[in-house]
A and B are shown apart, each in its own frame.
Chain A
Amino acid sequence: MSEKVTIALLGQPNSGKSTLFNALTGLHQHVGNWPGKTVEKKEGSFSYGGRDYELADLPGSYSLSANSDEEVITRDFIASGKADVVCILTDSSQLERSLFMAADYAGITVPCMLILNMADVAAAQGKKIDAGLIEQKLGVPVVLFSANDKKGYAPFYNALERAVAEKKTLDTASLEALYEKIPRYSEVKKLMPEDLIPGYSPMWLAAKTLENDPVVLAKLKNTLDVETVSRIDGYRKGVQGAVETGGAKFSWIDGILAGAVTEKKENLTLGRLDRIYTHKTWGKPAVVLTILLGLIASFIPALPLMGFGKVFGMLKEPVTAALTSAGCPDFIISIICTVFIQSLSYIFQMLGFVFGVTLVFGLLEEIGVMARVSYVFDNTMGKLGLQGKSVMPFLVSFGCTMGGAAGTRVIDNWGQKVLTIALAWAVPCGAAWAVIPMLSSLFFGPGAVLVIVVILLTMLLHMWITAKIFGRGLVKEEDRYGMIMELPPYHKPKWGALFRYVLGRTKDTFVRVTKVVLLVCAIFWLISYSFSADSVPLLYRIGTAIEPVTKLFGLNWQLFVAFIASSVGKEGALGVISALFTGGNFAGAFNQAMSGGGVASNLNEILLSNVTKPEALAFIFAITFNMPCVVALAATYQEIHSAKWTAKIAVYYTLTALLLAAIAYRIGLVIF
């Protein structure tokens, strides 16, 4: 009885799969990647009625064909026999379409159950569904419920326990009768070997063969003799197999639903909100406005954490004072204040933003707004190989790249998620906007406007080129399909599950970000701290030693060190400069790189007397297009869980920033 049961969730996008997954597992979930694949893997666990369950969330796909990594992974997982029961999710408000996954599953011999999710939406549309009758026709447990209704889970657990105990498979007789009307189906089926792929019946294999399924065809070729294979090839010719079997599947669904669903036929009208979102002219502004409002709304739940971070940062002075009076050595005070307190203060403030963004945009995703965003920006983002939704992380990144990275969780394709983050890094964040206008107007007066325009144009070019460079490896050519997607009806969010999910996510981000930030800050502290009064920090030695090289980019050693510091945080780049040109304390300068403080009162004079115009231009481009900050780096790693890709993006940005600086410097030399 205490044996663990493994269940797998299978369903089309928007069937409420992640809502159910989050509600069942709460914080007991683990997100990673399927081995060797650019597809996210979600697993979790829960207990009910004295039994432990392992839950695998199979990648969202529309069918069980083998046309994408997601579908191949799903099929391999089912064939592996790891799942005791597969839960097939459908959307009750669109049963006719969403039962397709069940029809495609029919013929697989792994026991299953059917979940008619979103019962509330169906009821609101005036649909009456007889789950009992559907269960009779399918021969497996069927439950009608709403995954977003916390109190309604008893019927689900009940059906799950029945499915585990009874181990029934879908009744396929009526579907096979329909398949048999397809020309050549019967001939092909006779040639199907019994155990070609474990768990898949000859009926299922025959249908897939007619559908020209690449994986099944390859298996057949390897198993059967040449003559049989050529006979099968002959049968496949001249039949549009996938269209025929698709038709049969939908006829089967019609049969299942006959008498089981009664509805009032209403004339279709777009809701008021959808009339705005789908409007020819107002659609895009409406989407941008929605995202900007979402961004502002993100700050409301973010404020407490941000405030806490600020207060935490204020501890530095009293702690320094207390430690100094206790006779603590300077370098320990420096480690505690510069590395620990400053880093944590910074992390808490950023984390507040991540919490807000994850909550607000998670909500927009759940209620169905993000699908409209996808629709409106499909054409534009498609040119970069991305989904329309990617516009959201880009806009959020104008505020904070970490928030942009966190926002990519609504993108369901891992490759596109990584590519979106890689491009979002090129968007100058709030911290950059605090520095660019000030520096530009100091050096170029009214020309600053021109500098900002050029920066925005460079950003677009940067994104375009970066999409070309990274896109090839991340989003395969055959995955670059235009949108074929349903716009789900708006539905109510499940607040409890959403909150628990967001809290869990924020906690995970905190742990991972803290590790990375502390590590990076400790390294910077080590190379920038003067351990004795007469020794110079390592960074100074390196900076001056490679100055001949950095000069090529238009950066003297002070500016180059400030550039390196801006990888930690852009807020403080000016503080670093003022410390370096006035012979200030190095370690303190890095401290300021994150707190954004410590700008000398005569910064303007310092800059104008030490930095030429071309150098200033180079520096502006260098820090604008450098990696956003160490926290964004850590957040990127947290979202894409690939150290390799995180490092690739970081190195790429450091190098391209220097390249852009060099170009800006050369152009500057010509102009000034």
Chain B
Amino acid sequence: MKLSELKENQNAVVAKLDGDNRFISRITSIGLTPGCRLQVVKNDRNRPVLVYSRDTMIALNRKECSGIEVTEL
């Protein structure tokens, strides 16, 4: 499923990244690589999705995170 489909407080693991070079490099550099665990902190419409991963609170624009496939835990 897509990252943005997760609900608040759900835990998941990144399964797959899809997108152009720049997106992949950007999303990797902030720590979201396949196999990485994350927790959704906030997921409100019209706001970036807030996830917590690798000790970091990360804000992801909704459009950008459509390229992140996750497996729910």
Q: Footprint of B on A, CB under 8 Å?
A: 12, 62-63, 65, 67, 93-97, 100-101, 104, 211-212, 214, 240, 242-243, 246-247, 249-250, 268, 270, 278, 280, 283, 374-376, 378-379, 382, 478, 481-489
Contacts and interface: CB of A to CB of B under 8 A. Distances in A.
Given A96-B54, A268-B52, A486 B59 contact: yes
Contact of A487 (B29, B54, B59): B59
B26 A484 contact: yes
A669 B50 CA distance: 53
B62 interface: yes
A67 B41 contact: no
A240 B17 contact: yes
B36 A250 contact: yes
A242 B46 CA distance: 29
Given A63-B25, A63-B28, A484-B26, A280 B47 contact: yes
Contacts of A94: 54-56
Interface in B30-44: 30-31, 33-36, 39, 41-42, 44
Nearest to A91: B56
A101 B17 CA distance: 20
Contact of B24 (A12, A240, A378, A478): A240
A640 B54 CA distance: 36
A243 B61 contact: no
A283 B17 contact: no
B62 A482 contact: yes
Contacts, number: 132
A249 B55 CA distance: 17
A123 B27 CA distance: 28
Contact of B55 (A96, A104, A243): A96
B72 to A, nearest CB: 17
Contacts of A376: 47
A101 B25 CA distance: 12
A97 B57 CA distance: 11
Contact of A247 (B21, B23, B34, B39): B34
Given A67-B26, A280-B44, A482-B63, A96 B17 contact: no
A520 B60 CA distance: 46
Contacts of B48: 375, 378-379, 482-483
A582 B40 CA distance: 69
Interface residues of B, number: 37
B12 to A, nearest CB: 14
Contact of A483 (B36, B55, B59): B59
Given A211-B21, A250-B36, A379-B46, A243 B28 contact: yes
A481 B29 CA distance: 15
B61 A97 contact: no
Contact of B30 (A93, A97, A214): A97
Nearest to B18: A240
A242 B59 contact: no
A378 B26 contact: no
Contact of A62 (B30, B33, B39, B63): B30
A513 to B, nearest CB: 36
B71 to A, nearest CB: 16
27 contacts: A62-B30, A63-B25, A63-B26, A63-B29, A65-B21, A67-B26, A97-B53, A97-B55, A100-B29, A211-B21, A214-B21, A246-B24, A250-B36, A268-B41, A278-B42, A374-B59, A375-B47, A376-B47, A378-B61, A379-B46, A481-B61, A484-B30, A484-B58, A485-B58, A485-B59, A486-B30, A487-B59
Given A278-B47, A375-B50, A487-B58, 9 more contacts: A63-B25, A65-B29, A100-B29, A100-B31, A250-B33, A270-B41, A280-B47, A481-B22, A486-B59
B50 A268 contact: no
Contacts of B58: 484-487
A374 B28 CA distance: 21
Contacts of A249: 28
A97 B36 CA distance: 11
B61 A95 contact: no
Given A67-B25, A478-B22, A482-B63, A487 B47 contact: no
Nearest to A376: B47
Nearest to B53: A97
A378 B36 contact: no
Contacts of A100: 28-31
A482 B68 CA distance: 14
Contacts of B28: 63, 100, 242-243, 246, 249
A243 B24 contact: yes
A494 B54 CA distance: 26
B11 to A, nearest CB: 10
Contacts of A67: 21-22, 25-26
Nearest to A211: B25
B64 A482 contact: yes
